[in-house]
Structure 1
């Protein structure tokens, strides 16, 4: 059984005595959406989803996310959808942080629990349900799949973090590592959803500046993250969006591990 922790305690509303200071910020190069602002009143309900609400934390928007949308979904017992995806262009990556449920795909039921990952190809039919006695919460990344002539469509993936190898970054002695749900050498996929893990004291030792757009949701621990010209303290439950080429670095001071769910777009030419 996995000992990994996945932050999932969203909702509620601060008391009237709460101060208004916050690390929430929206800039051209990045945004920080802290857990303190993910209250009940910012949720959305979605067509064809029963007993469900969503925190939509990224969406395609001029000056914001350009390649993806990201939701935190909460499905109550008995809830789900027979028509979850309204756009035939959209592929889906799902990661469960709490509870149990199931995806039905290609005639087969795929049970889900905390730590489960699923990739659903664009244009394919799938359904979701929660037959358990408690809510299930999961991240849902939607991306318009970029078809490449002569390249076959990627297959679906159903796996769990416990079944995936953690890959140490080069020359870090395992202090900085990634859990890769999609094979990074498989060019059929145009996005990745990974878990990045830092041991206490580990760092990103340079200012990463690259073409990939990022969504980072902190699953566990805390750290100081460099976003463009600013250092921001983040902790479990906080979300960061980074525009392509936004410089980034990280210092994980401890006392425990720092882990986040990382989206990035990959394996395609830029649109001209």
Structure 2
């Protein structure tokens, strides 16, 4: 069995001779950040991290997705953080794209290779380090946890390639989902999945739902229907979808189309009442 591959940003800058063209777009329903704009000039330095740079892909913003933040992180050999999360009520999900990432919790090291992931609940003291010889690249999702009395989320570690995907009904397994956070446990108010489409597979209706999405394309290409627009996307592109943004897609081939998908789940809509 061939192990999956995952696209990670390379940084750098375009040549001065390149044309000023691209596919980046921001609307009230969705945002598309193509891989070509993830350049050195737009990286952030986070004070909690050493030897690390970050592309911030999503933050809560008026008119957009508001429940989460998402980064692409690159740690140089020897870099990392002993206390990466500045807000104790925030939970994290890490997914490794390239290199090796060591996640340390309660004195125990979890070594994550590409496809490896870690879910870290709120009020968890943890660290992340690159103890290898190559840069470690991963995506980091942060969400303020909405507590539910009597239900406490537990840490989860694993690798998506070792999880059996669930086929979508009626698709002959050509559209399948790898679920990395327990889906039946209401202690978790977020899910993160790897969604796989074989060439030619489709989402055959415009999904319109309350869940927000952060969608990072790991492999392949597709045409996405977002609100009223058809948008081409490829590996390395990022999409942020606000609640109720209509969405569907056609997988273009020749390889599988795969993406990492965040969504907020399992909570009542709060209206500010008593």
RMSD over equivalenced CA pairs, Å: 1.0
DSSP 3-state at the match of 2:230: strand
CA distance in 2, matches of 1:28, 1:61: 10
Which residue number in structure 1 is paired with residue 234 of structure 2?
235
State the shift of 1:249 in Å.
0.3
Within 2, Cα distance between the matches of 1:7 and 1:162? Answer: 15
State whether residues 90 and 145 of structure 1, in contact with CA within 8 Å, keep that contact through their aligned partners in structure 2: yes
Q: Provide the C-alpha distance between the structure 1 equivalents of 2:151 and 2:134, rounded to a whole number of angstroms.
A: 39
Q: How far apart in 1 are the matches of 2:182 and 2:20?
A: 43
Provide the residue aligned with 1:16 in structure 2.
16
- Say whether 1:170 aligns with 2:187: no
Offset of residue 198 of structure 1 = 0.2
| Aligned residue in 2 for 1:219 | 218
> Which residue of structure 1 lines up, in the alignment, with residue 269 of structure 2?
270
**Residue pair 2:116, 2:157 contacting (<8 A) in 1 also:** yes
> Which residue of the partner structure matches residue 141 of structure 1?
141
1:2 to partner: Cα distance: 5.2
Number of matched pairs: 271
Q: Secondary structure of the residue that 1:162 maps to in structure 2?
A: helix
Question: Structure 1 residues 255 and 191 mapped into 2: Cα distance closer, same or farther (>3 Å)?
Answer: same
Quote how far apart the aligned CAs of 1:20 are: 1.3
1:161 is displaced (CA, Å) by: 1.2
Q: Does 1:258 align with 2:251?
A: no
> What TM-score does the superposition give when structure 2 sets the normalisation length?
0.97
Structure 2, unmatched stretches of 5+, are none
- 1:97 maps to what in 2? 97
Q: Secondary structure at the match of 1:153?
A: coil
1:2–1:162 Cα contact (<8 Å) kept: no
Runs of 4+ in 1 over 2 A off after TM superposition: none
For 2:87, the equivalent position in structure 1 comes to 87
The equivalent of 1:157 in structure 2 is 156
